Structure formats: C-alpha cells, structure tokens
C-alpha cells in the first residue's frame, strides 16, 4: 500500500523546505493536509510529485512548492481572515485553513467549487467557506481581508481586490501581459490610498477570467 504520510513528509522537506520556504506554520500545515484527497481519481499516488496535476474544467492543482511559496508570501497570522480567488481542487484553501482563522474562497466553475466544498468538509475544514462566482471581484460582503491569494494570472492586480484589503493587508497574485506567463507580485496596502508592490519572480498560472481579469473569449496578446 502506498505510504501517503511518508510521501507528504518527504514532499515538505525535499520540495519545499530545501527550496527556501521557512515559515514553520506553512511547513506544518502542508505536513498535515492530505493532498491525495484533493486530486482526481487515479492521480492519488502522484499527489506529492513536484508538479501541477490536471483537474476538471481544464484547470490544475498547483505544484506544492508554489502553494507554499504564495502562502508564505502572504505572511498569514493565526488571527487573519483570508480570501482565496480560484478554489480549484480546494487544497490550497485547506492549507490556509490550518494557518488562518477563517478562509473565504471563490471559484467560477460550479463543478469545481462544489467538489472542493465536499472535499473540505470531508477533512473537517470547518473554517473554510466556498462561494461560486467571479473571483476577480473578490467577496465584498466578507471584506476586509488581512491576506488575499489569487491562484490565476491577471493582466494587473484587480482594483476590487486591492480595495478589499485591510490596512496592512497583503495581496499575492500572478500578473502579466501573457495569459500563461506572469510575475508573482505582492501588493501591500499601506493606507487608504497607498500600496506597495514587490516582484517575487516568474510563474505560470492559468488565466484569471472575470470582470477584472481576462475575458473568457479574449485572445492572448501577441508576443513583442
């Protein structure tokens, strides 16, 4: 029988800690969330490989290192209220739920959102709420948030998400003019009108589709 516990511990040490993720809360959360419960049937034994895996609706479950990197960049505290845009499989929300007080996650694909909700309920993630809708507009009724993580790449940080950050809050989002090649950016809200932006490196995510992201029918821009 495949030893998922051993594979999970090895993933954290070999793929995440050795590559520079140091936040002990992130490492401990990823040691405890069963990623095999969030992949599609038949992919369970690949759950701890250092790569993304396909899920429904043409989406992916991000590679473990990227999940850890983004959560660490968001600098989450146990008292934080967190928004995730792009629930996908539900795995990242489950990890964040082990760190933050409350997690709100928005998924535009109803099928993915409902599946993620069932998976989260099955592992007892009672502090994670799932909503079906346009994540590029955030979740205004639950704002402000201490941290926002966007698991899809947009042309720019959506104004709605920036406005839903609390003062001192952090938004971590892939941004770029190419729909599948971006820079990972952290936007910190310094005051009601001031934001600071940091470039955390190159990444590749599915496009952020929505009113404040890419159009569902838009063609990607040409390379210059």
Catalytic site positions: 62
Cross-strand bridge partners of residue 54: 60
Contacts of 92 (CB under 8 A, 6+ apart): 62, 67, 70, 71, 84, 149, 151
- Find, among 99, 86, 87, the residue nearest to 33 by Cα: 99
62 Rama sector, left if φ>0, alpha if ψ -120 to 50, beta otherwise: beta
Whether residue 16 contacts residue 65, with contact meaning beta carbons closer than 8 Å, is answered with yes
Cα–chain-centroid distance for residue 93?
7
Distance CA 68, CA 70 (A): 6
Task: Indicate the pairing of strand 81-85 with strand 145-150.
Answer: parallel
Whether residue 154 contacts residue 207, with contact meaning beta carbons closer than 8 Å, is answered with yes
HSE-CB at 125 with a 13 A cutoff on CA atoms is: 32
């Amino acid at each position: 029988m495949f030893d998922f516990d051993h594979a999970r511990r090895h993933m954290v040490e070999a793929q995440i800690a050795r590559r520079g993720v140091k936040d002990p809360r992130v490492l401990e959360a990823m040691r405890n969330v069963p990623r095999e419960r969030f992949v599609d049937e038949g992919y369970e034994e690949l759950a701890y490989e250092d790569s993304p895996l396909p899920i429904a609706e043409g989406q992916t479950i991000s590679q473990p290192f990227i999940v850890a990197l983004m959560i660490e960049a968001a600098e989450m505290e146990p008292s934080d209220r967190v928004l995730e845009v792009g629930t996908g499989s539900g795995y990242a929300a489950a990890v964040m739920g082990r760190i933050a007080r409350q997690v709100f996650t928005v998924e535009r694909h109803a099928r993915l959102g409902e599946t993620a909700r069932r998976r989260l309920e099955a592992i007892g993630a009672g502090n994670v709420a799932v909503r079906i809708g346009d994540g590029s507009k955030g979740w205004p009724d639950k704002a402000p948030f201490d941290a926002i993580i966007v698991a899809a790449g947009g042309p720019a940080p959506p104004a709605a998400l920036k406005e839903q950050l609390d003062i001192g809050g952090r938004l971590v989002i892939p941004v770029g003019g190419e729909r599948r090649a971006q820079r990972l950016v952290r936007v910190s809200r310094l005051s009601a009108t001031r934001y600071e932006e940091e470039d955390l490196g190159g990444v590749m995510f599915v496009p952020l589709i929505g009113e404040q992201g890419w159009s569902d029918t838009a063609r990607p821009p040409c390379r210059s």
